[in-house]
């Protein structure tokens, strides 16, 4: 990556992004990554390792944090051998999420028949460009056009884009413009944006990104967390918050990025346990699976878990018993609690408890009594 100071006019464009720009066509999504302490633009740099011919600029804060990126896209869009240059600026946030576009004074986009875009067209374009999942990624424009009526078909649940749908993925009469801009946003420039931010990442910036309300930002930041680096306490807190959130996939991802190294923090283990009690089964199981990846488990957590055992269904109970087994944990309190469960009228639950006790080094009158009574009941 090469860092070059850029022309003042481009800095101006960058500034204008956040101001009202009369006479300019500007569509921007919410910024989402809060800036409270990073609010002064100072430096703008070029990243020259993108494969795109158009230069990508990074806007930094006074402290050297990346704030956002932009690129001027200049290309020709031709129909019937008549060409019009396209000249606009595309903006990304620091996780590579598309933020919007800006057309300089007098610049406009047009359709196949050279009709100027109206406000609805721009809005549609902006919405389409904000979708990273349009079915363009593996296609050339020719393939996109040629596959009408053939390649994409419908089977339940796996329906792809039919020719009718392709129309839904482009601005009417401006398929190439939509395609070109989308490819620009989600192609090598986006990768360059992301890797540039990654190189400047530090705990405070990760924490900032994790505070974004956008799941795209949250997921991106979660995936940058290194398994062998200690979690800063603020980040740890933030991760627990995300696990607790209602968004299922963010919770699942936040659990999945935690490593054995991170789990050396007892605070994190306790945090996970307290969330366990509040969450539904779809998240409970991954939490327990994660806790069992720890190299050692907090004794307080284990003691606290005895209290919830009687409330669990058979499968959840089984998951806890497997965890106890994994850490080779048995104490008399645990044995007694589990012995009580052997009496459960539900044979599925009772058998789980019985199997555990029969194989664990649990001793004492209550234990023997419980085992015996189970055997008598199920003779």
Ligand X SMILES: Cc1cc2nc3c(=O)[nH]c(=O)nc-3n(C[C@H](O)[C@H](O)[C@H](O)COP(=O)(O)OP(=O)(O)OC[C@H]3O[C@@H](n4cnc5c(N)ncnc54)[C@H](O)[C@@H]3O)c2cc1C
- Which of 284, 184, 267 is CA-nearest to residue 230? 267
Give the nearer residue to another protein in terms of CB position, either 169 or 207. Answer: 169
296 contributes a contact to another protein by CB under 8 A: no
Residue of 81, 150, 158, 295 that binds ligand X (CB under 6 A): 158
Strand partners, 88: 73, 103
Q: Is 359 exposed, middle or buried (0-12, 13-18, 19+ CB in 10 A)?
A: exposed
Site stretch for ligand X (CB under 6 A), options 108-116, 117-125, 150-158, 159-167: 150-158
Count the neighbouring beta carbons within 10 Å of the beta carbon of residue 4.
11
Q: Is 379 in the site for another protein (CB under 8 A)?
A: no
Stretch that binds ligand X, among 31-39, 69-77, 154-162, 312-320 (CB under 6 A): 154-162
Torsion of CA 124, 127, 132, 135, to 10 degrees: -30
Q: Which stretch binds another protein (CB under 8 A): 25-33, 92-100, 275-283, 327-335?
A: 275-283
Task: Rule CB under 6 A: choose which of 76, 80, 142, 156 binds ligand X.
Answer: 156
Q: Which of residues 2 and 157 has its CB atom nearest to ligand X in the complex?
A: 157
Query: Which of 155, 295, 345, 361 forms a contact with ligand X (CB under 6 A)?
Result: 155
**Residue numbers 18-77 binding another protein by CB under 8 A:** none
Strand partners, 86: 75
In whole angstroms, give the CA distance from residue 154 to residue 61: 48
End-to-end Cα separation, the chain, in angstroms: 74
Sequence-distant (6+) residues with CB within 8 A of 130 are 29, 98
> Would the CA dihedral through 133, 138, 141, 142 be positive or negative?
negative
Return the residue of 10, 219, 304, 329 that touches another protein, per CB under 8 A: 219
Q: Which residues bind another protein (CB under 8 A)?
A: 128, 131, 133-135, 138, 146-147, 149-161, 168-169, 215, 219, 223, 246-250, 252, 280-282, 284-286, 313-316, 345-351
Q: Which residues bind ligand X (CB under 6 A)?
A: 155-158
């Amino acid at each position: 990556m090469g860092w070059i100071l850029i022309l003042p006019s481009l800095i101006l464009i960058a500034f204008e992004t956040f101001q009202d720009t009369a006479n300019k066509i500007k569509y921007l999504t919410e910024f989402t990554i809060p800036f409270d302490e990073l609010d002064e633009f100072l430096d703008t740099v070029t990243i020259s390792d993108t494969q795109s011919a158009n230069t990508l600029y990074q806007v930094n804060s006074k402290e050297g944090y990346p704030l956002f990126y932009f690129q001027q896209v200049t290309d020709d869009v031709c129909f019937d051998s008549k060409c019009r240059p396209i000249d606009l600026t595309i903006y990304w946030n620091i996780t590579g999420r598309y933020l919007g576009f800006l057309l300089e004074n007098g610049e406009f986009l047009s359709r196949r028949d050279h009709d100027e875009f109206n406000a609805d067209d721009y809005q549609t374009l902006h919405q389409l460009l904000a979708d990273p999942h349009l079915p363009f990624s593996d296609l050339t424009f020719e393939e996109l056009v040629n596959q009408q009526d053939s390649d994409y078909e419908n089977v339940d649940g796996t329906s792809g884009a039919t020719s009718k749908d392709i129309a839904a993925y482009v601005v009417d009469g401006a398929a190439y413009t939509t395609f070109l801009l989308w490819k620009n946003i989600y192609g090598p420039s986006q990768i360059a944006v992301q890797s540039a931010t990654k190189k400047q990442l530090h705990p405070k910036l990760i924490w900032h990104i994790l505070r974004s309300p956008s799941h795209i930002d949250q997921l991106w930041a979660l995936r940058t967390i290194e398994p062998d680096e200690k979690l800063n306490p603020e980040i740890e807190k933030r991760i627990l918050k995300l696990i607790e959130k209602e968004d299922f996939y963010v919770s699942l991802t936040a659990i999945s990025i935690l490593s054995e190294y991170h789990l050396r923090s007892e605070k994190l283990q306790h945090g996970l346990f307290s969330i366990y009690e509040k969450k539904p089964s779809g998240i409970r199981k991954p939490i327990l699976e994660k806790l069992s990846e720890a190299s050692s488990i907090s004794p307080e957590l284990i003691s606290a878990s005895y209290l919830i055992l009687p409330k669990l269904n058979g499968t959840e109970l089984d998951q806890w018993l497997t965890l106890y087994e994994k850490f080779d944990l048995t104490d008399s309190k645990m044995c007694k609690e589990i012995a009580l469960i052997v009496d459960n009228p539900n044979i599925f639950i009772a058998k789980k408890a019985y199997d555990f006790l029969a194989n664990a080094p649990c001793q004492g009158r209550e234990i023997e009594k419980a085992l015996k009574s189970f055997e008598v009941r199920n003779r």
